[in-house]
Amino acid sequence: MSGSERYAKLFEPVRIGPVVAKNRFYQTPHCNGTGDWSPRALAGMRAMKAEGGWAVVCTENLMVDAWSDISPFAAVRLWSDEDVPAQALMVEQVHRHGALAGCELAHFGIAASNRVSREPPLGPSSRLTMEAVDPVQSRAMDKADIRSFRRRHREAAMRAKRAGFDVVYIYCLHENSILSQFFSPLVNDRRDEYGGSLENRSRLFREILQDTKDAVGDRCAVAVRFGVKQLEPNRMLEDAELREIIARHAEMPDLWDVCVNNWSYDSASSRFAAEGHEEPHMDFVKTLTSKPVVGVGRFTSPDTMLAQVKRGVLDFIGAARPSIADPFLPRKIEEGRVADIRECIGCNVCIAGENTFTTMRCTQNPTIMEEWRRGWHPESVPLTRSPDPVLIVGAGPAGLECALTLGRRGYAVTLAEAAHTLGGRVVRESSLPGLGEWIRVRDYRAYQLQQLSNVQLYLASALDAAQVREYGFSRVICATGATWRRDAVGRTHVRPVATEGAASVFTPDDVIDNRVDAGPVVLYDDDGGYLAAALAEKLAGDGLSVTVVTPHTTFARWTAVTLEQERLMGHMLERGIEVRVASALASVGSGHIECRCVYSGASTRLEAASLVLVTSRVPNDGLYHALIDAPADLEASGIRSVLRAGDCDAPGLIATAVFSGHRLARQLDAPDAADVDYRRELPDAD
């Protein structure tokens, strides 16, 4: 049986009310960190999903009015008719590829502080606003407020219809939906017909749903996005009432889009959840409704997808992160090219864009959000007109991506790696607890490189400058990575901390190489990223007593933007790992360290047979400088250019290294790059 025959059920058309989806692949609403200041970039990204075979492609939240202003988070608005053309641009491009366009109308209620609009936050009752530091409370909505909200929501739905959308959502997912807030007896303490009993607390949802069906249901499918399971720490409603809400309204919407609450569980990283992890929470929905159901689970395996449909769990395979990692996932399955899927690794770097007010990124897909800005396509690159032989030194994430992209462009590429395996830091970091799926970064590129006859791979091949000059390559790219520092220099310490004659001092590389065998261990984290927790968990798993010390006011602070921090902290406590925050390394002695409180300056001595420093890295750029510092030798050897990529250029995330390698390969034979090498959407100036 061919791949296309095996998965034929995934490509059956499915009716959603008045519209028909051409297959069962459904890009559920997801944020992207840009908001409506960049409509062309948004349209380009969504259109690429449609080209890749997704039958339904949805927007992120579209805020229905000025009482749901979540600035500075990126937001897309349907406040007025002026917002329609930007949405119509996306719809037009999605329709061009035969996909349905969906929009998620939303109001965040007491989760919106309305910093820019300066409207009072609205909610069922007066509560401090969620997800904000502002000491601001909502206004308890009176009947006039409710009528106005219903009117504005209906008008937004009609604008969505005019923009051409095929599916219009009612949003009551997570605690940041005003409708979810009305459901909850913990937030809704009203004593009128919108409070008290579940029937009353569901009244506004039912009215909004009926308003939307009346306004746009003749042409648009009306969908409900609903949280079927609420998990701590944000549980506002019990399972029985959630199930009853669905049962009471089972046939009203044209589609149920179901997830779990809260966001860190719904979009759990691969550290905490495997593919299909939401099934136990949502498998009951199909037993309550005859309408199609879409759900997510970071699906990347077509066999898992097929099983969900065959077992009657879902009608549509929903995806946000997998559609970012590989916009062409459906088409590859349809064409029998399953091995070519660029699988999501669950690192949540995409979500970090939204939570840091920046453009979405992806570790696996360096072209995401660059479709319009740079004209990049995830599956094709321009062929070179001057196929110079290229030597890439280093087969980590940057070197692998650079070699793959250059190979696809038609260059003759030689990739030399000093180690005995491809992958560099990806191989090493993926060996740590919770990071196993990250090996997909290496595996996808290694497999693709094997298909290219113009790329030669050499392992166990350390090269010096003299050897590089001997080989006669026209271009040389150094992707030789970076090395963790042993002197504690990082964000907090701008000068080295003396460690002479002290306890054994180690780096993350030593932990990965199993060189740390004496406890107690103090792991000093001034990096604040994802790595310290994985290292601490490994050391604890090796039977060592571990204390994590950080000068930051929170542990692993960057992981808050990947939705992992709270659960990582729980992981540390469960494994007996002590965490000390706001404590800077002061000195290292024999068998101990001294820390200083960043607030008071008070000193604390901790026993430490081993000190692991997770601070910063030094680029391994010795080969690069040895080559460029001898220009006469370069000219004599015929080398036209020597460039750096990835951590050798500037240490960063794996996603940063992949992007660096990809961009360098795209631009290798281009004219000198301008100071800004992408298009910008500039505001109109009157």
Our answer to whether residue 171 is catalytic in this structure is yes
Q: Which residue(s) pair with 77 in the sheet?
A: 63
Q: What tokens were used for 636?
A: 């004599």
Q: What tokens were used for 253?
A: 């919407």
Residue 265 and residue 378: Cα distance in Å, rounded?
29
Q: What tokens were used for 581?
A: 């925050």
Our answer to whether residue 30 is catalytic in this structure is no
| Given the residues 26, 171, 524, 530, the one annotated as active site | 171
- Which residues have a Cβ under 8 Å from the Cβ of 136 and sit 6 or more positions away? 113, 121, 128, 129
Count of CB atoms within 10 A of residue 201's CB? 25
Residue 58: closest CA among 40, 38, 31, 22: 31
| Given the residues 174, 281, 493, 662, the one annotated as active site | 174
State the amino acid at position 535 in one-letter form: L
Give me the sheet containing 583-589, strands edge to edge. Answer: 583-589, 592-597, 603-607
Helices 143-163/84-95 angle, 10° precision: 40
Residue 478 and residue 467: Cα distance in Å, rounded?
14
What is the chain's length?
686
Q: Give me the phi and psi of 263, to 5 degrees please.
A: -60, -40
Our answer to whether residue 266 is catalytic in this structure is yes
- Which residues have a Cβ under 8 Å from the Cβ of 467 and sit 6 or more positions away? none
Tell me how far CA of residue 376 lies from CA of 381, 382, 401, 674, in angstroms. 7, 9, 15, 17
Q: Is the dihedral of CA 637, 641, 647, 650 positive or negative?
A: positive
Residue 58 and residue 29: Cα distance in Å, rounded?
5
Q: Tell me the helices (H) and strands (E) count for the chain, helix number first.
A: 24, 28
Tell me how far CA of residue 172 lies from CA of 312, 349, 578, 607, 640, in angstroms. 24, 25, 38, 51, 58
Residue 369, helix vs strand vs coil? coil
DSSP class of 217: T
Measured in whole angstroms, the distance separating CA 195 from the mean position of its chain's CA atoms is 37
Q: What tokens were used for 195?
A: 């409070």
| Given the residues 26, 31, 265, 350, the one annotated as active site | 31
| Given the residues 69, 211, 254, 266, the one annotated as active site | 266
Catalytic residues: 31, 171, 174, 266
